[in-house]
Structure 1
Amino acid sequence: MDIQLDTAPCGYFSISNTGLIQSVNGTLLNMLGYERGELLGKHLESTMSVTNKLFFHTYFYPYIQLHGHVNEMYVSFRTSTGQDVPVLLNGIRQQRDGETFIDCVVLAMRKRIEHEKDVLQTKAKLEELYQKTNEANQKLELLHAEYETKQQELLRINHQLEAMAWIDPLTGLGNRRFFQEKLLATLASYRENEELFSLFIMDIDHFKKINDTYGHPVGDLVLTNLARLLQSMSRENDIVARYGGEEFVAILPDTDQETAISIAERYCATAASTLLGEYQITISIGVATVSSGDTDQSLLHHADLALYASKSSGRNRATHAANLVKN
C-alpha cells in the first residue's frame, strides 16, 4: 500500500465478497488500535458488536449486492480494547483480476443520527441479557435462535438479489452481464475440453419503426413475446439472453458451423411466420463458431460482422461469419 493511502485522513479497507479483510490502511489501524497482521485475513465482522453485525447484514450486504455501492452508512467498529467507534462508511463493489472486492472508506463520527437510537437501545438490551441469571440466559438463547433465523432469511434474500442482477426485468431472460459470464465460461470449457460451440447475435428488423408507429409499450410487448419464442425454440443446454435494446444473443453448445446456420435459419423462418401478439416481425442473425485463438471479444466481433451482412443483404436471414471470408 502506498504511503499516501496508508496515511490518508480517513480509514480505508478492502474486503473479499465474503467479508474477509484483504488490506487496511494505517489510519484505520490507529483508529481501532490494531496491528496490521491482527486484521488481515480476518472477517470484518470480528471488529463489530453483535448488534452491529446484525445491522451490517440487514443493510450493507443486500444493498451493495443490488446496487454495487453503499453511501453514508453509519455503523460502529470495536477497538482492540472493546470501545465502540462510530463511523460514516462508503463502500463500492469492484472486480480486480476476476475477483470481487468491496473497497470502503470510513470517517470517525462524534454523533449518531436520530435513526441510530433504536440500534443503540437494542445493543443495550443485548448487553444486559448477557449479564442476567439463568432465566435471562435462556431468553438470550432464544434471541440468538431468532437472530440465526433472520440471518438465514437475509442470506436467502441476498441470493434473490444476486439472481435479480443477472436477469433482464422486461423479458425474464438473462441480461448482458449473465451472457458475458456464460460466454467466458463456455470459452474456458472449449479451451480445456475442445467442446465446440456457436454464437448467435439476433436483431429485430426495423424495430425503431415499431416503436415510432405503435409506441414503446407495443415495442416492449414484441420484445417479451420474441424472448418467449426464442426460449421455446432453444435446446435444453442452449443459453439465450437479451444483449440490449432489440438485440438477443444465444450460445449453442456442441454446435458446428453447418448445424448453427441451419438452426439460425429456422429461427428466422419461425419468427417471420409467428404472430407476436397482434404483430409480425422478422429477425436478422449473425452466427460465429468458435475456433482456436478466439476470445470473447473476437467471437462477438465476428458474429456482429455477420449480423451486419444479414442486414445489408436484405434482412430476415442468417449469415455465418465464416462465409464472409469467402465473399
Structure 2
Amino acid sequence: MEERLDFAPCGYVSIKDDGTIVCINQTLLTLLDYKMDDVKGKLIYKILTKPSQSFYQLYFLPMITIEEKVEEMHLTLETKDGSHIPILLSAVRRKSDGMLVNECILFPMKQRHAYEQAMLLAKKTAEDSERSKKEALMELEKVQKELENKQTELLQLNEKLQKLAMTDELTSLYNRRIYKRELTENLSIYKKTRIPFSLLMVDIDYFKDINDTYGHVTGDRILKALAQMLVTQSRKQDVVARYGGEEFAIILTNTTVADSIQIAERIRKSVEEAIWDISSLSLTISAGIATSREGDNRKTIQTRADEALYRSKHNGRNQITHASQLERV
C-alpha cells in the first residue's frame, strides 16, 4: 500500500464479498488499536459491532453488489478494547489482482442519530422477517398435516375400494373374480411342484324353499351365517368364495383326495348339526370335490367338481362326492 494511502486522514479497507479483509491502512489500524496481523485476512465482522454486522449483511452487501457503490452509510466500529466508534462509510466495487473487492473509505463521526434510526429499522426488519418466517413455517406445517390426512384418507379409500372389488357384498367372502384368479394360481403352482390341491363346491339344499317359506331377508341371513361357518371350518391357507346364489367354492391347498373328503365331511356335519336362528329350520349342504391331476386347467377341474356336486344332489343331498368316485362307477 502506498504511504500516502496508508496514513491518509481517513480509514481505508478493502473487503472481499465473503467478508475477508484484503487490505487495511495504518490510520484505521491506529483508530482501532489493532496491528496488521490482527485483522488482515480476518472477517470484517471482527471490527464491527453486533448491530453493524447485521446492517452490513442486510444493506451494505446487497447495495454494493447491485449498485457497485455505497455512499455515506452509517456503521459503528468496535476497537480492540471494545469501544464503539461511529463512522460514515463510502465504498466502490472494482476488480483488483483478478478478484472483486469492495474498497471502503471510513470517516469517524459524532452524529449518530441517523445511524441509530437506520439500526432500529434494520432490527425491526429482521424481527418482521423472523416473524414472517415463523408464520410461514406454521402455515407450511398446517398444509403438510392436511396433506398427510388427505393421503391417509386416500389410502383408506383405496383399501376399501380394493376390498369391495375382491369380496362378495353380502357374505364378505371372496367374489367369483378372485376365486377364478386363485384357482388359476393354484393350478400354476401344481404344474410346477406337483403338490395336489382340491376344489370343493358347496350348495345349500332346497334353498329356494327357504326363501319361499321364510323370505329373502332370512335367506340372506342364512347365506351370511353359512359363509362364516365355511371360513371357520376351513383352514387358514384355504380360499373360501361365494360362487353364486347359494353356491360356494373352497380351494383346499396342499390337499389330497383323502384329506379333501375328510375336510368336506367335517363341514357338512357342522352345517347339519348347527342351530340356526329359526328353530324349525333344518339346513344341509351337498358338496362335490375334484383334486388336481395332470393336464388340468380351470375348466376341467371345475367341471369335475360340478359333476361330483350334481351326483351328491341326485343321490339324495346332504352328502359329499369326490370326482374320483364317479370314475370308478
Short-chain TM bin: 0.5 to 0.7
1:219 and 2:226 aligned = no
Instruction: Work out whether residues 234 and 263 of structure 2, in 8 Å CA contact, stay in contact via their aligned partners in 1.
Output: no
Distance apart, 1:172 and its partner CA: 2.1
What residue is the counterpart of 2:258 in the other structure? 258
Within a 5 Å distance, the mapping from 1:5-44 to structure 2 comes to: none
How many pairs align? 195
Deviations 1:91-112 (A, max 9, x none): xxxxxxxxxxxxxxxxxxxxxx
Aligned to 1:149: 149
Q: Which residue identity is paired with 2:146?
A: E
Structure 1 position 289, deviation (Å): 0.2
Residue aligning to 1:244? 244
Structure 1: 5+ residue stretches without partners = 1-132
Q: C-alpha separation between the residues in 1 aligned to 2:264 and 2:305?
A: 12
The answer to whether the 8 Å contact 2:233/2:266 transfers is no
Question: How far did 1:188 drift?
Answer: 1.8
Superposition TM-score, scaled by structure 2 size: 0.55
Equivalent residue, structure 2, for 1:198: 198
- Confirm or deny: 8 A CA contact 2:287 2:312 kept in the other structure: yes
**Superposition TM-score, scaled by structure 1 size:** 0.56
Q: Is the 8 A contact 1:171 1:223 kept in 2?
A: yes
Shift of 1:224: 1.5
Aligned to 1:228: 228
1: CA distance between counterparts of 2:300 and 2:317? 23
Quote the Cα distance in structure 2 between the aligned partners of 1:151 and 1:266. 45
Structure 1 residue aligned with 2:285: 283
CA distance in 1, matches of 2:308, 2:284: 17
In 2: Cα distance, 1:280 partner to 1:172 partner: 24
The residue number in structure 2 matching 1:297 is 299
TM-superposed CA distance for 1:301, in Å, is: 1.1
| Aligned-partner residue type, residue 318 of structure 1 | I
Task: Name the CA distance, whole Å, in 2 between partners of 1:283 and 1:192.
Answer: 34
Asked which structure has the greater CA Rg, the reply is 2
C-alpha deviation, 1:134, in angstroms: 5.5
**Retained in 2: the 8 A contact 1:202–1:286?**
yes
Whether the aligned pair in 1 keeps the contact of 2:197 and 2:251 (CA below 8 Å) is yes
1:205-264 CA deviation, whole Å, 9 max, x = no partner?
110011111111111121122112212211221221211110011011111111211222
**Contact map agreement 1:175 1:243 (CA 8 A) in 2:** yes
1:171 alignment partner in structure 2: 171
State the shift of 1:135 in Å: 6.9
CA distance in 2, matches of 1:302, 1:322: 9
Q: Do residues 309 (structure 1) and 311 (structure 2) align?
A: yes
Counterpart residue type for residue 301 of structure 1 = T
The one-character-per-residue Cα deviations of 1:49-76 (angstroms, maximum 9, x if unpaired) are xxxxxxxxxxxxxxxxxxxxxxxxxxxx
Inter-partner Cα distance in structure 2 for 1:235 and 1:198 = 13
Does the Cα contact within 8 Å between 1:226 and 1:276 map onto a contact in 2? no
Asked whether the 8 Å contact 1:225–1:277 carries over to 2, the reply is no
Runs of 5+ unmatched residues, structure 2: 1-131
Percent identity between the aligned chains?
Answer: 44
